[in-house]
Structure 1
């Protein structure tokens, strides 16, 4: 049975999947479901949990099921991960981007370019994300978003938005992948893990001289699987 923290993380992951699926923001979810924006924001930050009435309001507003929001196995986030792993039709229309070293999903770890290593993404991203690169999440603090074998694609030219998944540099060359929230001068790095108790939010006050320097490297806009050699 999931703990309260794990249930909260599942809800957050499913709500984020809903936003990606529908192309909407937290504010739009609140508007369509007739819920206060601050209420939805508090769910996403793990401060509170929606009532049964509010869950039903979102279900009705978007034509989804309760499981889509609350289930780990059958929720929208799980369906999204399953869809990304389905076998795609062969295509020669792709774009090659460089790979950087492993990025900690549970700890902060140095990120460095893996010379000679590359990953392919859909050709449609070549023009809109010309400086994109791949990074390999490590650890389990983002395992509700990335499977062990998935590669995150980051665009350093994209502004990191509130509630987005991003590559964040901390203490110079160290970096981590987390969902990012902004609260005044504070940047909150939020994990989305099946082991939520092990990964509390990391709050960094950008105005506090004692806080580690933070650099929002770029937003994660895509994920893919590594290419596998074909044997004949």
Structure 2
């Protein structure tokens, strides 16, 4: 059973409308509808709010439940030390690519997921950060952590393109620095004037990464 179906079953068991559940957790009823229709997946922080309200574990919403979402299966040891987090799309570590939403959930160590409940995963494409993170890795990015100079972050350029770079903020602009063995990748500087017509915004700080199961060595 998916997260959306678990949320719907839980809501119906407590005789709540989508609007009532939305008011409880501080979102719109449209958001609840998109979750239950499996068009989108709620963030881990939102799932935690739902779990806290109903007095259940977050895993009761995330993991498949054959019977009742409020019960914990004792017969499925798989995943007990992991937690599912959303894989939202791809991110370029070379030439920026448009972020495309991917409807998927990936198991990460439970400690990581619980440390960064609002984070999301993006696939790294390109080799401009391969001194730090290899192409094909899944980068975990937390949008709630403030970025300091020298941090690696997902950066949206011109509103919709995303790139993974080391970020340095200046009084007159921002520098995006690659960390690559490929000399073709160059440091990019965007002045305040540049950003008037080509805005640069931070989407999330890199906090962890993992190799996907199908990676080739």
TM over 0.5: yes
1:143 to 130, 135, 138: 130
After the TM superposition, list the runs of 4 or more consecutive aligned residues in structure 1 that deviate by more than 6 angstroms: none
Pairs within 5 Å for 1:81-96: 92-96=80-84
**Residue 112 of structure 1: how far off its partner (Å):** 2.4
Hey, what does 1:99 align to over in structure 2? 87
Looking at structure 2, the residues matched to 140 and 126 of structure 1 have their Cα atoms a distance apart, in angstroms, of 26
Looking at structure 2, the residues matched to 126 and 101 of structure 1 have their Cα atoms a distance apart, in angstroms, of 18
**Residue 91 of structure 1: how far off its partner (Å):** 6.9
Structure-2 change in CA distance of 1:227 and 1:212 (3 Å): same
1:134 and 2:117 aligned: no
Is this contact kept in 1: 2:79–2:107, CA < 8 A? no
Give the unaligned 5+ runs of structure 1: 1-89
**RCO comparison, higher one (Cα < 8 Å, 6+):** 1
User: TM (normalized to structure 1)?
Assistant: 0.55
Hey, what does 1:167 align to over in structure 2? 154
Q: Paired residues, what number?
A: 137
Hey, what does 2:99 align to over in structure 1? 111
Is this contact kept in 2: 1:205–1:211, CA < 8 A? no
Structure-2 change in CA distance of 1:91 and 1:101 (3 Å): closer
Is this contact kept in 1: 2:141–2:205, CA < 8 A? yes
Structure-2 change in CA distance of 1:126 and 1:92 (3 Å): same
Hey, what does 2:163 align to over in structure 1? 176
Q: CA RMSD in A?
A: 1.9
User: TM (normalized to structure 2)?
Assistant: 0.58
Structure-2 change in CA distance of 1:150 and 1:209 (3 Å): closer
Hey, what does 1:214 align to over in structure 2? 200
2:190 to 186, 204, 210: 204
Pairs within 5 Å for 1:180-199: 180-196=167-183, 198-199=184-185
Residue by residue over 1:110-135, the C-alpha shift from the partner in whole angstroms, topping out at 9 and shown as x without a partner, is 112201x2222221233331121111
Q: Which has the larger share of helix? A: 1
Hey, what does 1:226 align to over in structure 2? 212
